Chains A and B, each alone.
Chain A
Amino acid sequence: MAIIRDMIPAFELFQPATVEDALDRLAEYGEQAWVLAGGLDSYDWFKDRIKRPEAVIDLGGIEELKGIREGQDGLEIGAMATLTEIVRHERVRAEYKILADAAEHVATPQIRNQGTLGGNISQDTRCWYYRSGWPCYRAGGNTCYAAAPQAMNREHAIMGTSRCVAINPSDTAPALVALDAKMIVRGQRSSGAYDAEDFFIGPATDITRMTVLESGDLLTQINIPEEWANAHFYYEKVRDRGSWDFQLVSVASAFKTSGNTIDDARIVVNGVAPFPVRLDAVERLVRGASVDEEIAVEAGEIAIQGSRALKHNEYKQPMMSNLVRRAVRSVA
């Protein structure tokens, strides 16, 4: 295991006041630049000395990245809005409760005070082989140490893998996919508005990244459209410690209903793949259906079709199945 040290290697610190300044610095340093939001993922990397950027661009001074605003179509959340702000925001709690629930399940109050929505969804995987400095696929190497027969892989993926079996650790990511959020990215390579579903990428596309963000890119804003406001939501996160832990499996779902009939649905699971998994087959099953126990059970069974457990995470299959069943059952 890597040893966390008090001193972090030296780097050039930039504290820009505008997005343009930040983008200029990112362009200047290229792959040697590191974007610092709340710092809760970054400082671990620095202290472990696994990541040694030449320049750190601290976004804390950029006002336009902060806060939650009313937009033309729903809410516009700055990437630097803290998780506590989201948890406490009146309209989020009233109309997009699934996001408030997900944000409230992140770590501890202290971490939520410091952690940002942009940082939470952009954070790197917590696979300990990767974070301990092993030259694995995700680190640019040629081996997944977590998938080896002797590996400790209790928390790893059961689907969506391609050589790498790490999972996406974000609590808010599945909620944003369920809400059909749009991620606004500015920068040199991936500039544009991405559906949340497309923002997260798997190892089959690029094994070294978890999102579309490349060096030189900045996630500036997350737009939550009106479309799914006030829907019937269900969020549940299962973790080892109820007080503070990453998810083992979580489900975030949004249903438009008439009575106990589901008119439309978006059901997303995280903690089971390198990206939040939208369950298209389950959505097709429940769309237009009256919810009863039978359809809830069937939804749970369909959800895990194609999954493949590693040596120590077989439990995730029934856990995921049960969470999806509960989500569908919640409509009844």
Chain B
Amino acid sequence: MNKTDNNPVWWGTFTVAAEESLLWEIGAMRLSVLRKSQEWQVAQTGYGFSETDDVTCRIARGERIADDAAMPERFIFTKTAETLRVMPQLADRPVIVRPAGAMRVLSGQETTIYVSSPLWVHIDVHEPPVALGDFPIQRPSDTWFGPSTLEGELCYAGSTQGRLRLDELPQRPHRAFTPVSIVNHSADPLLLERLSLPVPFLSLYSSEGGTLWTNGVTMRRESDTDIAEITISETPPPTEYVTHRLTGPRKKAEKNMLIRAFGALLG
């Protein structure tokens, strides 16, 4: 593959000759993979905090991150093979999303908000595949989701806000979109300040244009609590023409799960 500028599709299967390297640039993040006769080396820079909105993709063959910029991680094999697979991967913890401004879903009402969540680059090599690891495109902040500092779970903070309309959400190649339907069956209005998106249970799909989608999630609130009954749709969202499934979920979801999904802010 030659240099590809601004191509949103950065994943796929690549053939790498011995002593050859491949470099990915997605926004500020740079990731290089070098194949040697007995080892694979992966180096990464620029995955920390970044405020740039312009996230362009570039894959360059023959380029790599210099050793003095980042110490490469070394993976030793008896003999390396030429197959390298790079796939997008969702987070291993739930992602906390805030709607653009707190909103109330009144009793008996339902709405769909579109949210985006951060991605990791999953690298595996050889046939059958041997995983080298997951590398963040942009490491999200840690956050806590729960009613108090004693009870809750550690999550990632979603840096973007959930929107009611899909076209309001910026299209970025390093994030995956999820349509979340919120149904309020309880007698009281639901104040939606934060939402815990259970991404470890979701699969990733890609559309024709290279946009990444996850399965749709339905959150049903039956009583006046922060617990929601979560249903994960078997199929990808029908609003987009999704070509195929890229990766499966990290955790197997039960049919109907009860998860603490809605949360107000801690003081």
Whether chain B is bound by chain A comes out as no
